[in-house]
Structure 1
Amino acid sequence: MTGRDGGEAGLPRITFDKVEKSYGSTLVLPPLDLTLEDGEFTVLVGPSGCGKSTTLRILAGLETLSGGEIYFDDRPIGKLEPKERDIAMVFQDYALYPHMNIARNMSFALRLARAPKSRIDSEVNRVAEMLNIAHLLDRKPAELSGGQRQRVAMGRALVRDAGTFLFDEPLSNLDAKLRAKMRTELAEMRDTIDKNMVYVTHDQVEAMTLGDRIVVMNAGMIQQQGTAEELFANPVNRFVAGFIGSPSMNFLAGEITADRVQGQGFDLPLPPGLAERAGARAVEVGIRPSSIVLEGGAPIQLRVIVSEYLGAQSVLVTRCGNVDVLAEIASVDRIPSGQTRDFGVRTEEIMLFDRATGARI
């Protein structure tokens, strides 16, 4: 394998070439091929155990390769020590030194490298101002909130001025409100810092908010990669369709008959050409909650089980046959629980998936 020429100096194109990871006889990461462009914010997303953190740790040098190679541009780095890879990492648990104040925590790597004191002070102050923690530099980690500690952990990485930054689920220990605020700050940081950033999360909202490119993983394999818009509008299989989007997509078992799809509790027309592509096979019908409407569309009768008021929007948990179906409606149209009523489905937004393979038709 020969790597491609990279972009600007210090920002390598990162290439995984048939990278594998095994623990004993257990293969947790099958041969993986992935290229991360220079200056890109890439998000690895998927459920617990899908291999995303293992991939990040292999890139950082915290896990050894069982097979394949990683390249920074044309340079193989699989056998290099972590300190030789020009990488800074932000962990889920902050990993701050409790006996050091914030300034010393942030400057640790530069002090270890014996950088001049003037440079250390300049870099710490610059990054602290950017992250709005300049007023905390004399405090100890125990005196800070979770959000402030996470900013310090990010600041420690940024002070290093590495070419590539790795984030391993950095927001998962924060409460929902603080997580949303930190997502905004990360998005701002992404737009102002020209670095490679690789971010691991199980939260698809974080992925869709932050990623220039999202890599969806399951069982150690890449299912699909692309922008949030591409993954939402054109998922390649049932897994991606169900994982990307909130509330998640509904799936109903159905059979194709002429130009319609039928199943327990529904009989819906299909967009032109879709029935022909599907042929006579068992399918799963994918319907986004936002594709279920109160007026218009193809009729479907649903029984409302729970109405979840979320402010401007309400999410209805309804039942079609014996399957729960989510519908997203404006809260002004709130419907009480227990009612059975007619809804509509925007049939042009229906997706079909092969029931045996999960592939999109």
Structure 2
Amino acid sequence: MPEIVFDKVRKSFGAVEVLPPLDLELNDSEFTVLVGPSGCGKSTTLRILAGLETLSGGEIYFDGRPIGGLEPKERDIAMVFQDYALYPHMNIARNMSFALRLAGVSKSEIEEKVTRVAKLLNIDHLLDRKPAELSGGQRQRVAMGRAMVRDAGTFLFDEPLSNLDAKLRAKMRTELAEMRDTIDKNMVYVTHDQVEAMTLGDRIVVMSDGKIQQQGSPEELFKRPVNRFVAGFIGSPTMNFLDGELHTKDGSTWVQGDGYMLPVTGETGQRVSQVATSRNITLGLRPSSIDPDVTAGAPIELHIAVAEYLGAQSVLVTRCGQTEVLAEIASAHRFESGKVRTFGVATDELMIFDRDSGLRL
């Protein structure tokens, strides 16, 4: 499994620069997730790594060896696409073994590899069927199996679950996580779904406009985002953002805005205690930091617009002043639309962002 290094990699399509100089290191045996909104450059990065797009500048290294000029087949990479791309006239066993047969691998070795991978993916009972006889999830497993039988050093996944329904996506996420723990390979996974990223990634690389905003473990990105973009992208429901003014006096720090005044405590309070008073900022408030028990934190009044029942949890769509605020609470608490209620805010979980740069203070 090579260590993969992007060294000032650039990609342009004509006059449009999709990837400005990109520096990134992918460690041995690591499941790395590239995540971001559509058009952020994550799929282009993956296709450049696979050799499906040419470099406009910079270089990619596998264990110190430049591979930017190599053909895809020379890179020891296997790729799983969003589209299953299975041959409809071949059964599953022949679909999975197609690349091995082209490479002239012996029949006994092909049978051993196909059987082993099929058992791992729980599709060994489907090997004699045609793709049309399989469900969407089974076809996706076959597409993964076709890549895995090649025993490549690096596996690339380009939004492989986006064609599946919500229930099947959740099941496949679990299976991918289990597969990740049993296969000692580099895996690079592209998705726009931050839930997939949080569930699967050893390391998440958050991208926007072709640039890396932050990279780290799921917990690090959730608890310590470097800017407003990362804070708003990681976490579901998404973080609330409220404009306000930051004040410090006599060792106390608080934020005041339209319809609220909250003290800032904990690590964030210590970080911003030296910031100039009356500074215009953006307050970041996680929906999970809002509690129906007003004694659980500092009080805030919210006008309830909609209560979305999601089973064990409910999401309240509320307003604080003129700003929409989401609150995630246990469904045992029932609230009527149109009412104004006081909630408690966990002030040690607040985040403060510079309003102009978006950086977390």
Q: TM-score range by the shorter chain?
A: over 0.9
Counterpart position of 2:263: 269
Q: How far is the alpha carbon of 1:37 from its aligned partner?
A: 0.2
Counterpart position of 2:217: 227
Counterpart position of 1:344: 344
Aligned counterpart for 1:93 among listed residues 61, 64, 83: 83
Structure 2 counterpart of 1:263, one-letter code: G
Contact 1:260/1:275 (8 A) holds in 2: no
Q: Distance in 1 between matches of 2:166 and 2:319?
A: 29
Give structure 2 stretches of 5+ with no counterpart.
Answer: none
Counterpart position of 1:333: 333
1:62-107, Cα deviation, whole Å (9 max, x unpaired): 0000000000011000000000000000000111111111111100
Counterpart position of 2:254: 260
1:227-256, Cα deviation, whole Å (9 max, x unpaired): 000000000000000000111100000011
The alignment status of 1:78 with 2:75, answered yes or no, reads no
Structure 2 counterpart of 1:309, one-letter code: Y
Counterpart position of 1:38: 28
Q: Distance in 2 between matches of 1:210 and 1:275?
A: 33
Contact 1:314/1:331 (8 A) holds in 2: yes
TM-score, normalised on structure 1? Answer: 0.96
Counterpart position of 2:153: 163
The alignment status of 1:279 with 2:276, answered yes or no, reads yes
The alignment status of 1:124 with 2:121, answered yes or no, reads no
Counterpart position of 1:294: 292
Structure 2 counterpart of 1:260, one-letter code: W
Counterpart position of 1:212: 202
Counterpart position of 2:139: 149
The alignment status of 1:69 with 2:67, answered yes or no, reads no
Q: Distance in 1 between matches of 2:322 and 2:309?
A: 23
Q: Distance in 1 between matches of 2:79 and 2:334?
A: 46
Q: How far is the alpha carbon of 1:257 from its aligned partner?
A: 2.5
Q: Moved runs in structure 1, 4+ residues, more than 6 A?
A: none
3-state DSSP class of the match of 1:251? strand
Structure 1 counterpart of 2:36, one-letter code: G
Contact 1:21/1:27 (8 A) holds in 2: yes
Counterpart position of 1:12: 2
Give structure 1 stretches of 5+ with no counterpart.
Answer: 1-10
Q: Distance in 1 between matches of 2:275 and 2:354?
A: 8
Q: Distance in 2 between matches of 1:119 and 1:200?
A: 31
Q: How far is the alpha carbon of 1:186 from its aligned partner?
A: 0.3
Structure 2 counterpart of 1:273, one-letter code: Q
Structure 2 counterpart of 1:206, one-letter code: E
Q: How far is the alpha carbon of 1:274 from its aligned partner?
A: 4.4
Contact 1:256/1:282 (8 A) holds in 2: yes
3-state DSSP class of the match of 1:273? helix
Aligned counterpart for 2:183 among listed residues 189, 193, 201: 193
Q: Distance in 1 between matches of 2:272 and 2:206?
A: 28
The alignment status of 1:134 with 2:124, answered yes or no, reads yes
Q: Distance in 2 between matches of 1:50 and 1:334?
A: 40
3-state DSSP class of the match of 2:284? strand
Q: Distance in 1 between matches of 2:178 and 2:274?
A: 43
Comparing 198-207 with 95-104, greater Cα deviation is found at: 95-104
Structure 1 counterpart of 2:261, one-letter code: D
Q: How far is the alpha carbon of 1:275 from its aligned partner?
A: 4.2
1:153-203, Cα deviation, whole Å (9 max, x unpaired): 000000000000000000000000000000010001000000000000000
Counterpart position of 2:164: 174
Comparing 275-284 with 159-168, greater Cα deviation is found at: 275-284
Q: Distance in 1 between matches of 2:274 and 2:320?
A: 25
Q: How far is the alpha carbon of 1:322 from its aligned partner?
A: 1.2
3-state DSSP class of the match of 1:59? helix
Matched-pair identity in %: 76
3-state DSSP class of the match of 2:332? helix
Contact 1:299/1:344 (8 A) holds in 2: yes
1:242-277, Cα deviation, whole Å (9 max, x unpaired): 000111100000011332211111111122434434
Q: Distance in 2 between matches of 1:23 and 1:277?
A: 46
Q: Distance in 1 between matches of 2:345 and 2:79?
A: 46
3-state DSSP class of the match of 1:332? coil
Counterpart position of 1:105: 95
3-state DSSP class of the match of 1:115? coil
Root-mean-square deviation (CA, aligned residues, Å) is 0.9
Q: How many residues end up aligned between the 2 structures?
A: 351
